Amino acid sequence: MTLFHRRGFLRASAAGLAATWWVGHSSAADSPVEVAPEPRPALPLDFTKLTPQDTLFLTWQRDPTTTITVQWIAPPSEQIPAVRVAPRFGPANWTNGTVETKPFGNTDLKVYRCEFVGLTPGTEYIFQIGSSSQVHCFRTMPAKATNTFTWVSGGDSGIGADAIATNILAAKQEPNFVLIAGDLGYDNGTSAKVAVQFIANYSKHMIDPKGRLIPLVTCMGNHEVRGGYKGRRSDATYYLPLFDGLYKDTTYNVLDFGDYLSLVLLDTGHVSPIEGEQTQWLEDVLRERQDRPHLFVANHVPAYPSYRNPVGREKVLGVGELQRRHWSPLFERYRVDAVLEHHDHTFKRTHPLTDGLYDKYGVPYLGDGSWGKLRTPVPPEKRPYLAKVAKAYHMTVQQLEGPQRLHVAMENGSRLLDVYTTTGKRPAKRG
- Stretch of 8-16, 127-135, 335-343, 357-365 contacting Fe ion, by CB under 5 A: 335-343
354 lies in the site for Fe ion, by CB under 5 A: no
46 exposure class (CB count in 10 Å sphere: 0-12, 13-18, 19+): exposed
CA angle 134, 136, 139 (to 5 degrees): 165
Nearer to Fe ion, 52 or 302 (CB): 302
Chosen residue from 221, 305, 320, 367 binding Fe ion by CB under 5 A: 221
CA atoms of 138 and 159, how far apart (whole Å): 24
Least separation in angstroms between residue 327's CB and Fe ion is 17
CB 378 within 8 A of CB 307: yes
Least separation in angstroms between residue 308's CB and Fe ion is 10
Least separation in angstroms between residue 228's CB and Fe ion is 8
Nearer to Fe ion, 221 or 356 (CB): 221
Q: Which residues contact 50 (CB under 8 A, 6 or more apart)?
A: 43, 44, 73, 74, 75, 109, 196
Could you count the other beta carbons within 10 Å of the beta carbon of residue 323? 25
* DSSP H/E element including 154: strand 149-154
Least separation in angstroms between residue 342's CB and Fe ion is 7
156 lies in the site for Fe ion, by CB under 5 A: yes
Nearer to Fe ion, 156 or 208 (CB): 156
- Stretch of 217-225, 247-255, 264-272, 375-383 contacting Fe ion, by CB under 5 A: 217-225
- Stretch of 18-26, 222-230, 308-316, 376-384 contacting Fe ion, by CB under 5 A: 222-230
Nearer to Fe ion, 54 or 156 (CB): 156
222 lies in the site for Fe ion, by CB under 5 A: yes
- Stretch of 171-179, 327-335, 341-349, 403-411 contacting Fe ion, by CB under 5 A: 341-349
183 lies in the site for Fe ion, by CB under 5 A: yes
CB nearest Fe ion: which residue?
A: 183
Q: How far is CA 315 from CA 231, 309, 331, in A?
A: 21, 14, 27
- Return the amino acid letter for 267: D
Nearer to Fe ion, 150 or 237 (CB): 237
Nearest to 26 by CA among 105, 111, 122, 120: 122
Least separation in angstroms between residue 271's CB and Fe ion is 14
305 lies in the site for Fe ion, by CB under 5 A: no
Q: Which of residues 158-177 bind Fe ion (CB under 5 A)?
A: none
Nearest to 330 by CA among 384, 238, 266: 266
185 lies in the site for Fe ion, by CB under 5 A: no
CA atoms of 372 and 422, how far apart (whole Å): 27
Number of residues that bind Fe ion (CB under 5 A): 5
CA atoms of 319 and 326, how far apart (whole Å): 13
CA atoms of 76 and 83, how far apart (whole Å): 16
Residues that bind Fe ion (CB under 5 A): 156, 183, 221-222, 343
